[in-house]
Structures are given as C-alpha cells and as structure tokens.
C-alpha cells in the first residue's frame, strides 16, 4: 500500500455551506445569599452560600459550621465574604455546593460550643433525613415513569433518630458522617471556632487569624491498651492557620479539603442535585412554612423561605421569613402604561426633592424624602420595578387617596421578585439615622407566594425588611424602620415593596420615608 499526502482542506472546502457558529452557553452569574435564622435556643444565626440559580437559590445540603466567639452580630457579619476570603480567592472549591452556618456565642469555650452543636443536631436532625427523602422521591418519580420495578426495597432506610425529626419539619439537618467512611480520621464529627476580631482571612495577614478545629465523637480503634481503654479526649481542640504555606497544606483549608472528600459530601451533593431535578419549575415543591417564634423555618425539602429576592444580596444578611398567600383570581384593572427605565437618580421637574424649610409656630412634620410618593404625577418615575418581573404603571382604577396609584402585575411562571423600587437621593439621607419607610398596599392576586414585604436596600440587595399580610382587595399599611450606614449609602440606597411569587398583582399608594426623631 502506498501512502499519499493530500493537502489540508480550506475553510471554504470544509464548510461549503458556511462555517457553523460557535455556541457558548449563557453566562452564569454567581449570587451570594445570606439568611438569618434562629437556633434551638431562639438566638439569631446566619446561613450563607453561593448560588448559580437566582430565581430559586436552594441552599446546598453539605454544610460547614463555624462558631463566632468574638462579639460579632449576625446582622453585621458578612458570611459570604468570609468564606470567599478564607479561600483567598484561589478557588479551592470548598464554597461550591456547600452552605456555611455561623452561630454567635461570644466568649464561649470549645466545650460550650460542643454542647450547643449537640443540642442543635437534636433539634434539627441530620443530613441523612433529607438525603433519604430525596432518594425516595426519585424512586417514586422513576417508578411512575417505568424506569424501576414497583415494590422494590428502598435504597436507604430512615433511622429512628431521623424519623422523629422528619415530622418536625425544621431547618436542614447538620452533618453527621458515617464512621464507616471516616478511615482517615480519629474523630467522627467536627466544627470550627473563629475567635478573631477581624473576620478577613485573606492575604498573608489573614493566615494567622485565631481559628480552631474542634473534633469530637472518637471513632473506635482496634488498637487499645491492655485494659481496653481509648485514651483520646472526648473533644480535641487544635489551633490552625487559615491556610498553610504554600496554598492549603496544613491549614484550615487543608482540613476542610480532606473532610470534603468523603462519603457524606458526595451523598449530600447528589441529594441537592436531585432536588433541583425534582423541582422543579417552581420552588413551591420545596417549601412548607412553619412558625417558630416570629421566624418562619422549614426543613431542607421545605427549606427556609429562601427564594426571596434578597437572596441576591451581595453578602448582607436579612431575616429568613416566609408567607403563603392563597391564590385568588380577580378582574384586571385598567392601567395607564408608562415607559420605565432601569435607574437612576434623576431630578423630577414637577416634584421637589428638597425637604420643606417653611417655619411656623406649628411643630414641623418630618419631611418625606420620597418623590412621587402619592403617584399623582403624570409619570411613574422615579419608581421602577424592584428586580425581576413586571413593569410598574400608573392606575386610575384604585387609589388609597387622590386619583391614582401605582400598579404592577406579573406571572413569570416561577418564583420571582415582583414589585416597586425607588432609588434614593443619598444627599437627603443622614447616615446611621433611623428612617421609617411606609406604604399602603392592596393585593388583588397572589399565587404561590413565599413572602410579601417592604425593604430597605443597598446596592443589589436589601439589609432589612418587614413582612405584611392582610386579605386580598383591601388596603394594608406596611412599614419597616432601618438606617443606612455611609457605606450602604455609597453603594446606592433604595426602598422597595415587593413579593416573591409565581403570580402577583398589587397596587401601592401614599408611600413615605421619614426620619425617626
């Protein structure tokens, strides 16, 4: 056989009908989520994670637990930035598919943190509860689609311990690894203590922050002394650097990396991924709100009402709350469409933004710093949509006072942020001074709603909010009090009234933002 050489084809010869365009998938924007919840003692704690699903950012089931023993507060602690800086922006992969939980016990010892952790597990159960539920749901789904034989034994059975907590429907479970797969460790479980005043672990300076690895639940060993005793301490505490030298050797990140490569993590990641597949065009399959004190909570399959829009908050916490509203159909109102834009502090030609300076013998009322607060102008400006869906318009169909109100209606087909926002003139806001934002709301249709609330916002997310309820087709006053720090003012201050729903229609009127004297 004689091998002959042929010249390479030209592009025109290779693609006579034209070269096919390269296709790149849409860019994913990482959303940082912080949610405040209550622990078994009723104290505030913080849950933080990163998500590539802005409309339904389900918290991953794998979990790292930190006890913050320096006097930090959940409302001021930046959980998202903490884990980003812990990895020093080098992408060790400890953030993906993991949630971080922070418990705040100022001055607590390792023993006190351990006692708290044990009680928290008793209160919430373990991750195996949720792993089992997802597996069973997958089996049922496949059985309906004929992919497996009916009546086959379940893949994984509930333990009696977990079975108790399935009915309680609480927060997602905590990690309790299977000892069979912990051959590289002497202790079955662990958590971390962060005792440093500075939460920034980035850079060389951040390497030496005061961090402790606390291990407990010793794994039985075959080699014991002649009397059969295991002399390991019930709790082992070791101080570590954030990262070793170089990279992650011998530091906290190294320890997390070794624990990360374990059966519990693989099982939990798989369960989280399967939960996404079950979802589900809607997050409503996940959620079943339960009241505990004044905070709504739920288990993993019925997780924290975490599909609220503020989940896009770039590392500023907010209360984990939820409300379910019954679907009610009603006639659509007549509206006056008005062009809106994304923006945008502008100076309205018809309304002054300056507080009144008129003097009289009558006590001066606080000045309303909102513009077009009564929606009586001939434009909806400066009100814009709060985030995802719907277009705010003026309406003459309803009004709390006057002849007009604002109106928005949207049916995005999945949970989304629907509402109004007004960007504030920072020159009219005094830093660190409390202000009360109030607005009258009349909801005419609400379907598959996780929450409806008013919020004080900074940048892309909110830092304080208050739920409002009430019957449909009635005006309800909603209000929240908050203060903007200078940093929050610099990031862009705004207020919003919104809902996280699959379908939502409501009016707003007579809004105000006044300083609390």
Together in a domain, 429 and 285 = no
Together in a domain, 306 and 399 = no
For residue 289, what pLDDT is reported?
Answer: 30
Distances in Å between the alpha carbon of 431 and those of 40, 71, 366, 456, 488? 35, 23, 16, 13, 9
For residue 365, what pLDDT is reported?
Answer: 63
Instruction: Assess contact for 289 and 324: CB atoms under 8 A.
Output: yes
For residue 27, what pLDDT is reported?
Answer: 55
For residue 298, what pLDDT is reported?
Answer: 32
For residue 51, what pLDDT is reported?
Answer: 74
Q: Domain residues for 143?
A: 31-312
Together in a domain, 121 and 240 = yes
Go through the chain and tell me how many residues it has: 517
Together in a domain, 291 and 158 = yes
Instruction: Assess contact for 387 and 421: CB atoms under 8 A.
Output: yes
Instruction: Assess contact for 173 and 197: CB atoms under 8 A.
Output: no
- Do strands 44-51 and 99-104 pair parallel, antiparallel, or not at all (unpaired)? antiparallel
* Domains identified in the chain, total number: 2
Instruction: Assess contact for 55 and 308: CB atoms under 8 A.
Output: no
Query: Could you read off the pLDDT tens digit of each residue along the chain, which spans 517 residues?
Result: 566 667 778 878 887 887 766 655 555 556 778 888 888 888 999 998 887 655 545 778 888 999 999 888 888 888 888 888 887 656 555 666 788 999 999 999 999 999 999 999 888 888 887 777 777 777 777 777 765 444 444 443 434 433 343 334 457 788 877 655 545 678 888 999 999 989 888 888 888 888 999 998 887 665 444 455 455 688 999 998 888 654 445 688 888 877 776 777 778 877 777 776 665 333 333 323 322 222 222 333 333 333 333 333 334 444 333 333 333 333 333 333 333 333 232 333 333 344 444 444 445 667 999 999 999 999 999 999 987 688 999 999 999 999 999 999 998 876 778 999 999 999 999 999 999 999 999 999 988 776 788 999 888 777 888 888 778 899 999 999 999 999 889 989 999 999 878 889 999 999 999 999 8
Quote the distance between the C-alpha of residue 355 and its chain's center: 36
Together in a domain, 71 and 219 = yes
Q: Is residue 87 part of a domain?
A: yes
The helix, strand and coil proportions of the chain, stated in percent and rounded to the nearest 5, come to 20, 25, 55
Q: Closest Cα partner for 292 from 464, 122, 41?
A: 41
Q: Which residue spans within 338-471 are E strands per DSSP?
A: 383-385, 393-395, 405-410, 416-423, 434-447, 451-458, 461-467
Cβ count near 345 (within 10 Å): 16
Q: Is residue 53 part of a domain?
A: yes
Give tens-digit pLDDT for 474-484. 999 999 999 99
The helix/strand/coil state of 385 is strand
Q: Is residue 339 part of a domain?
A: no
Together in a domain, 175 and 278 = yes
User: ∠ CA 430-436-442 to the nearest 5 degrees?
Assistant: 140
Q: Is residue 429 part of a domain?
A: yes
Together in a domain, 260 and 409 = no
Q: Is residue 341 part of a domain?
A: no
Together in a domain, 60 and 198 = yes
| Tokens representing residue 158 in the block | 């509930």
Q: Is residue 427 part of a domain?
A: yes
CA distance 476 to 494: 21
Quote the distance between the C-alpha of residue 100 and its chain's center: 11
For residue 277, what pLDDT is reported?
Answer: 66
Together in a domain, 45 and 192 = yes
Together in a domain, 428 and 508 = yes
Choosing from 295, 312, 329, the residue where a domain stops is 312
Beta-ladder partners of 213: 192, 238
Choosing from 262, 292, 312, the residue where a domain stops is 312
- Report the CATH number that the domain containing residue 418 is assigned in CATH: 2.60.120.260
Q: Is residue 352 part of a domain?
A: no
Choosing from 312, 329, 362, the residue where a domain stops is 312
Q: Is residue 372 part of a domain?
A: no
For residue 32, what pLDDT is reported?
Answer: 78
Together in a domain, 401 and 253 = no
Together in a domain, 389 and 308 = no
């Amino acid at each position: 056989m004689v091998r002959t050489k042929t010249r390479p084809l030209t592009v025109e010869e290779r693609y006579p009908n034209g070269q096919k365009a390269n296709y790149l998938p849409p860019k994913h924007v990482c959303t940082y989520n912080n949610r405040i919840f209550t622990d078994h003692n009723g104290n505030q704690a913080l849950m933080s994670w990163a998500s590539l699903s802005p409309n339904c950012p389900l918290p991953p089931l794998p979990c790292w637990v930190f006890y913050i023993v320096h006097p930090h507060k959940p409302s001021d602690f930046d959980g998202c930035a903490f884990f980003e800086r812990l990895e020093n922006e080098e992408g060790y992969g400890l953030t993906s598919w993991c949630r971080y939980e922070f418990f705040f016990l100022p001055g607590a010892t390792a023993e006190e943190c351990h006692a708290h952790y044990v009680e928290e597990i008793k209160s919430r159960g373990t991750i195996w509860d949720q792993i089992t539920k997802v597996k069973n749901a997958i089996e049922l789904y496949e059985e309906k689609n004929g992919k497996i034989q009916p009546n086959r034994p379940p893949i994984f059975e509930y333990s009696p311990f977990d079975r108790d907590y399935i009915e309680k429907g609480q927060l997602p479970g905590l990690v309790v690894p299977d000892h069979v797969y912990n051959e590289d460790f002497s202790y079955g479980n662990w958590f971390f203590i962060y005792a440093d005043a500075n939460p920034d672990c980035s850079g060389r300076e951040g390497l030496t922050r005061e961090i402790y690895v606390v291990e407990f639940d010793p794994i039985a060993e075959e080699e014991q002394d002649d009397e059969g005793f295991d002399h390991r301490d019930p709790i082992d505490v070791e101080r570590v650097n954030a990262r070793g030298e170089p990279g992650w050797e011998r530091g906290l990140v190294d320890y997390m990396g070794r624990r990360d490569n374990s059966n519990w993590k693989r099982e939990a990641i798989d369960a989280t991924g399967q939960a996404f597949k079950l979802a589900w065009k809607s997050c409503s399959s996940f959620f079943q709100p339960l009241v505990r004190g004044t905070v709504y909570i739920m288990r993993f399959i019925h997780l924290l009402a975490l599909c609220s829009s503020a989940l896009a908050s770039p590392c500023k916490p907010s209360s984990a709350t939820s409300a379910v509203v019954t679907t009610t159909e009603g006639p659509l109102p007549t509206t006056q469409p008005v062009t809106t834009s994304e923006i945008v502090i502008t100076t309205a030609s018809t309304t002054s933004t300056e507080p009144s300076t008129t003097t009289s013998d009558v006590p001066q009322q606080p000045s309303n710093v909102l513009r077009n607060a009564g929606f009586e102008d001939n434009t909806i400006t400066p009100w814009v949509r709060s985030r995802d869906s719907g277009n705010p318009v003026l309406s003459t169909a309803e009004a709390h006072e006057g002849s007009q109100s604002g109106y928005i209606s949207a049916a995005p087909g999945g949970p989304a942020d629907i509402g109004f926002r007004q960007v504030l003139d920072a020159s009219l806001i005094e830093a660190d001074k409390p202000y009360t934002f109030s607005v009258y709301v009349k909801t005419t249709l609400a379907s598959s709603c996780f929450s409806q609330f008013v919020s004080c916002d900074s940048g892309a997310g909110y830092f304080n909010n208050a739920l409002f309820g009430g019957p449909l087709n009635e005006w309800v006053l909603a209000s929240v009090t908050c203060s903007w720090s200078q940093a929050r003012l610099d990031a862009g201050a705004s207020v919003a009234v919104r809902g996280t729903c699959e379908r939502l229609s409501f009016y707003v009127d007579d809004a105000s933002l006044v300083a609390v004297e």
